[in-house]
Chain A
Amino acid sequence: MSSREEVLRRVREALGGDRGVRPPVPRGYARRLTEAEAESRADVVALFTERVADNRAAVRHVGADEVGTAVAAALWGRETKQIVVPADLPFGWLAELDGVRALADTPALDLDTLAAADGSVTGCALAVAQTGTVVLDGGRAQGRRALTLVPGYHLCVVHADQIVGTVPEAVGRLDPARPLTWISGPSATYGIEAARVEGAHGPRHLEVLVVED
Chain B
Amino acid sequence: MTASSPGTTPSSPRTSAPVPLPMPKFATAARSALADTRSRRNLRGAAAALREREAAAAAEPADWDDLREAGRAIKDDTLLNLDTHLAELERAVTEAGGVVHWAADAAEARRVVTGLVRAAGAAEVVKAASATTREIGLNDALARMGVTVRETAVADMIVQLGEDTPSHLLSPAAHRDRAEIGELFGRAVPAAGPDPAADPEALAAAARLHLRDRFLRAPVAVTGANFLVAESGTVVLLESEGNGRMSLTIPETLITVAGIDKVVPAWDDMEVFLQLLPRSSTGDRMTPYVSSWTGVTPGDGPRAFHLVLLDNGRTKALADETGRTALRCIRCSACLNVCPVYERTGGTPYGPVHPGPIGAVLTPLMRGVESAANASLPYASTLCGACADVCPVLIDIPDVLVHLRGKVVESRRRRPVPTPEMALMRGLAWTMGDPRRYEAALRRGTRWARLLSRGGRIRRLPGLLGKWTEARDLPAPPAESFRAWWDRTRT
Contact partner, A182, options B49, B272, B286, Cβ 8 Å: B286
Beta-carbon contacts of B270-304 to A below 8 Å, as 1s and 0s?
11101100000010111111111110010111000
Flag whether B170 is at the interface (Cβ < 8 A).
yes
- Give min CB distance, B64 to chain A, whole Å: 8
| Residue count of chain A within 8 Å CB distance of chain B | 76
Flag whether A28 is at the interface (Cβ < 8 A).
yes
Which of B133-141, B197-205, B371-379, B457-465 interfaces with chain A? B197-205
Q: How distant is the Cα of A6 from the Cα of B8 in the complex, in angstroms?
A: 12
Q: A8-B87, A15-B83, A29-B70 are in contact. Are A184 and B286 (CB under 8 A)?
A: yes
Q: A3-B7, A11-B82 are in contact. Are A138 and B297 (CB under 8 A)?
A: yes
Does the CB pair A14–B286 fall under 8 Å? Answer: no
- Residues on A with beta carbons closer than 8 Å to the beta carbon of B309: 7
Q: How distant is the Cα of A89 from the Cα of B416 in the complex, in angstroms?
A: 77
The B contact surface, by secondary structure, is: helix
Flag whether B183 is at the interface (Cβ < 8 A).
no
- Residues on B with beta carbons closer than 8 Å to the beta carbon of A191: 153-158, 171-173, 204, 207, 241
- Residues on B with beta carbons closer than 8 Å to the beta carbon of A192: 154-155, 158, 173, 178, 181, 200, 203-204
Q: How distant is the Cα of A128 from the Cα of B208 in the complex, in angstroms?
A: 28
The A contact surface, by secondary structure, is: loop
- Residues on A with beta carbons closer than 8 Å to the beta carbon of B8: 2-3
Across the interface, name the chain A residue whose C-beta is closest to B158.
A191
11 A-B pairs with C-beta separation under 8 A: A8-B83, A13-B315, A22-B80, A26-B69, A27-B70, A29-B275, A146-B249, A171-B268, A195-B200, A202-B245, A204-B208
- Give me the interface of B with A, judged by CB distance under 8 Å: 2, 5, 7-8, 42, 45-47, 49-50, 61-63, 66-67, 69-70, 73-74, 76-77, 80-83, 86-87, 90, 96, 101-104, 108, 152-158, 168, 170-174, 177-178, 181, 200-201, 203-205, 207-208, 211-212, 215-216, 229, 232, 234, 240-243, 245-246, 249-250, 260, 267-268, 270-272, 274-275, 282, 284-294, 297, 299-301, 309, 311, 315-316, 318-319, 324
- Give me the interface of A with B, judged by CB distance under 8 Å: 2-4, 6-8, 10-15, 19-20, 22-23, 25-31, 34, 51, 54-55, 108, 111-112, 115, 128, 130-133, 138, 144-146, 149-150, 167-168, 170-172, 176-204
